[in-house]
Amino acid sequence: MPSLTILPEIGPPQTLPLSPGQNLLHAITPAGRDTITALCGGGCICGTCRVRVVEGDPGPMGEREAQLRHQLAITDPAIRLACQTHPPGPLSVAIIKPR
């Protein structure tokens, strides 16, 4: 089973289990983990659930994510949307807080 490691700005890393096919947003938000913003609830509409991939393979980017990234002028390939990212293996990310 893949794992997701969240690298917070302050404090120790937190490693969570990641079910096959599960997106990052659904892995991060259960059990009171309110560390990530997703104003649209994971519908790939708002772009607020951004993460920076620090280590690992985030998996392929889908067309919806690519279109929203283009609309929001996100050019850094390390920045992905948690609601659309389905890593095939272990992944370490830093959550990007909206401004």
With a threshold of 0.75, does the pTM exceed it?
yes
Cα–Cα distance, 77 to 27 (Å, whole number): 21
Fold designation for 3-93: Ubiquitin-like (UB roll) (3.10.20)
User: What's the Cα-to-Cα distance from 93 to each of 2, 15, 21, 71, 85, rounded to whole Å?
Assistant: 14, 10, 17, 23, 11
Q: Encode the chain (99 residues) as per-residue pLDDT tens digits.
A: 789 999 988 889 999 999 988 999 999 987 445 588 999 999 999 999 999 999 999 999 999 999 999 999 999 999 999 999 999 999 999 999 887
